[in-house]
């Protein structure tokens, strides 16, 4: 092949190598476009049968000149496989003309295995390379060459092995980078799960206080499932999805693992089905538990999914429970002290009271607050309980007025809303005093 052709080929190769970055980072087999073959076929169609005969005659003449030895015949007859012959096999071929047919067979077998391996990792096909050459040098047809394949095929065969090697090196580098990312991702995920799962166990213990009231118990269980439990599951699903992508050679930004993510049921199911092997079944069990009525079912399924993923979930012991309660009490006290919204204040005070008098971290939605307040009657003195119930009653009234307000100037509801809000604001210091004085003592 003329040196000028290889010089031209090197220039084209440099351009093609830049495009290989996107190719190497893609896990989709769709990168080798089916439409590429159509462009190549257009070139082939333009060559009439007489030109094909000329090419055939030229090839036959070259074969006659080179001789009819077995080694030469093998090299000429299987050009497609020759690109993939392992280095060791090529050395065997160079040992001499007396190479046996078994060695040739082994070479073919090795080539086919290498070809199959390359197919699995999505390497550029000969037609893909040819199409890229035509795209980069569209004026090849103006060079006066009757059969473009005389130029395109040698160029393609020259570039393709180098592109494949470049691609493999890029993938190797990406694999190393992704391996490090996967380790960091799992380490960060483990830390997040340690904290959130311990808190979840802490909140779960408070549910025992309401097991004798079935309707309230269901409300509390569902609230915990829809809030804290869902948040834990979403973090786990999101990070395992990222881990799965990294494992499959897909580039992912590490910052995404630190983001707060909120998924709906359909999104969780879709992610669960994308997980490998038996992890799918474990993940679907978590999704089902989130839609259920019992927190313990979620806790069990979450443990099983975490174990399947190689993650460990710590069990809450007495020492950890006391430490978490102390931290939670301190945090809630700060929130209560800084709270200025009279409506938002009530559930925080109720939660803090449950820590102080029951040593339980209650997570209660608005519709369960009245029941939670009534359970404190025997735990508080009469004056404290009256402040709490008066505040709770006024809060319910205010929310009812707000829900029916029309915004009409003639509607007296707005005046009643202002009056009730003012009443609550005046009562806020007394309500805060129920918990802050005790917390600070």
* pLDDT for residue 48: 44
Helical spans, DSSP H, in 248-341: 265-274, 279-290, 295-308, 318-338
pLDDT given at position 389: 97
The pLDDT of residue 99: 38
Place 108 in a pLDDT band, splitting at 50, 70 and 90.
very low
**268 band by pLDDT with thresholds 50, 70 and 90:** very high
C-alpha distances in Å from residue 345, one per residue of 6, 338, 351, 400: 78, 10, 10, 17
Q: Are residues 343 and 288 in the same domain?
A: no
Four-CA torsion 207, 213, 215, 218, nearest 10 degrees: 20
- Range(s) of the domain holding residue 339: 318-440
Residues 30 and 158 in one domain: yes
The residue from 284, 308, 332 where one domain ends is 308
Q: Tens of pLDDT along 269-285?
A: 999 999 999 999 999 99
Residue of 321, 299, 332 whose CA lies nearest to 232: 299
Whether 328 shows a pLDDT value over 90: the answer reads yes
Predicted pLDDT at 249:
77
339, part of any domain: yes
Q: Give per-residue pLDDT as tens, 65-97.
A: 444 444 444 333 333 333 333 344 444 444 444
Greater confidence (220 vs 131) lies with 220
Least confident interval from 38-52, 219-233, 238-252: 38-52
Residues in the chain: 441
Would the pLDDT of 27 be above 70? no
Q: Is the pLDDT of residue 100 over 60?
A: no
Confidence grade of residue 33 (pLDDT, cut at 50, 70, 90): very low
204 in the same domain as 160: no
- Tell whether the model's pLDDT for residue 10 goes beyond 70: no
Let me know whether 9 and 155 are in one domain. Answer: yes
Q: Report how many domains make up the chain.
A: 3
> Which among 33, 20, 29, 30 has a CA at the least distance from the CA of 168?
20
pLDDT score for 251: 76
d(CA 74, CA 93): 10
pLDDT score of 147 = 67
Question: Tell me, what's the pLDDT at 181?
Answer: 87
Structural domain ending residue among the three candidates 176, 201, 221: 176
- Helix 342-358 to helix 382-404 angle (10° resolution) is 150
Percent pLDDT > 70 in the chain is: 66
| 3-state DSSP assignment of residue 69 | coil
290, 233 Cβ separation under 8 angstroms: yes
Instruction: Decide if pLDDT at 256 tops 50.
Output: yes
More confident residue, 250 or 199: 199
Confidence of residue 369 (pLDDT cuts 50, 70, 90): very high
> Do 186 and 171 belong to one domain?
no
Q: Is residue 46 classed as helix, strand or coil in its secondary structure?
A: coil
Q: What is the C-alpha separation between 315 and 301, in angstroms, rounded?
A: 15
Average pLDDT, the chain: 77
Over residues 393-401, mean pLDDT = 94
Question: What local confidence, expressed as pLDDT, does residue 19 receive?
Answer: 65
- Over residues 325-352, the mean pLDDT reads 97
Q: Is the pLDDT of residue 235 over 60?
A: yes
* C-beta neighbour count of 392 within 10 angstroms: 19
| Structural domain ending residue among the three candidates 308, 329, 357 | 308
Once rounded to an integer, what is the mean pLDDT over residues 120-140?
A: 71
pLDDT class of 126 with cuts at 50, 70, 90: confident
| 420 and 404 together in one domain | yes
Token output for 252:
């992912």
If you average pLDDT over residues 346-364, what whole number do you get?
96
Cα-only R_g, the chain = 36
Tens-place pLDDT, residues 134-173: 777 666 656 655 667 777 777 777 778 888 888 888 777 7
pLDDT number for residue 310: 92
Q: Is residue 313 part of a domain?
A: no
The percent helix, strand, coil of the chain (3-state, each to 5) is 80, 0, 20
Handedness of CA 306, 274, 116, 32 (dihedral sign): negative
Q: Assess if residue 333 is contained within a domain.
A: yes
**Model-level pTM?**
0.65
Residue 166 and residue 84 share a domain: yes
Question: What whole-number distance in Å separates Cα of residue 235 and Cα of residue 250?
Answer: 20
Name the token pair of 112.
């086919």
Question: Does residue 156 share a domain with residue 249?
Answer: no
Q: Are 388 and 372 in contact (CB under 8 A)?
A: no
């Amino acid at each position: 092949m003329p040196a000028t052709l290889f010089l031209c080929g090197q220039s084209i190769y440099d351009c093609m190598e830049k495009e290989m970055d996107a190719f190497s980072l893609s896990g989709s087999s769709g990168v080798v476009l089916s439409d590429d073959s159509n462009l190549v076929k257009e070139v082939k169609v333009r060559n009439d049968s007489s030109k094909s005969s000329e090419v055939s005659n030229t090839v036959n003449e070259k074969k006659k000149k080179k001789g009819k030895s077995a080694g030469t015949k093998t090299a000429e007859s299987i050009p497609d496989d020759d690109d993939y012959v392992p280095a060791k096999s090529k050395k065997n071929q160079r040992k001499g003309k007396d190479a046996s047919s078994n060695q040739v067979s082994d070479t073919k077998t090795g080539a086919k295995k290498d070809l199959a391996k390359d197919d699995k990792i999505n390497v550029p096909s000969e037609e893909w390379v040819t199409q890229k050459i035509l795209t980069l040098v569209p004026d090849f047809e103006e060079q006066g060459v009757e059969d473009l394949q005389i130029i395109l095929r040698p160029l393609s065969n020259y570039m393709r092995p180098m592109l494949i090697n470049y691609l493999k090196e890029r993938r190797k580098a990406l694999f190393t980078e992704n391996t490090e990312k996967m380790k960091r991702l799992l380490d960060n995920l483990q830390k997040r799960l340690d904290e959130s799962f311990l808190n979840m166990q802490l909140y779960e213990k408070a549910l025992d206080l309401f097991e004798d009231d079935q309707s309230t118990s269901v409300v509390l269980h569902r609230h915990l499932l829809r809030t804290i439990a869902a948040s834990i599951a979403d973090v786990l699903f999101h990070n395992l999805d990222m881990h799965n992508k990294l494992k499959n050679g897909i580039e992912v930004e590490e910052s995404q693992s630190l983001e707060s993510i909120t998924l709906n049921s359909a999104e969780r199911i879709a992610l669960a089905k994308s997980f490998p092997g038996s992890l799918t079944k474990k993940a679907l069990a978590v999704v089902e538990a989130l839609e259920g009525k019992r927190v313990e079912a979620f806790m069990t399924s979450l443990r099983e999914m975490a174990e399947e993923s190689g993650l460990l979930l710590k069990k809450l012991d007495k020492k950890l429970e006391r430490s978490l309660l102390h931290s939670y009490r301190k945090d809630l006290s700060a929130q209560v002290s800084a709270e200025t919204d009279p409506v938002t204040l009530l559930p925080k005070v109720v939660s803090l009271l449950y820590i102080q008098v029951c040593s339980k971290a209650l997570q209660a939605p608005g519709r369960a607050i009245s029941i939670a307040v009534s359970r404190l009657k025997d735990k508080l003195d009469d004056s404290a309980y009256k402040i709490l119930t008066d505040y709770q009653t006024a809060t319910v009234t205010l929310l009812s007025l707000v829900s029916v307000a029309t915004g009409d100037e003639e509607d007296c509801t707005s005046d009643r809303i202002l009056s009730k809000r003012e009443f609550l604001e005046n009562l806020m210091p007394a309500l805060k005093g129920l918990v802050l004085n005790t917390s600070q003592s």
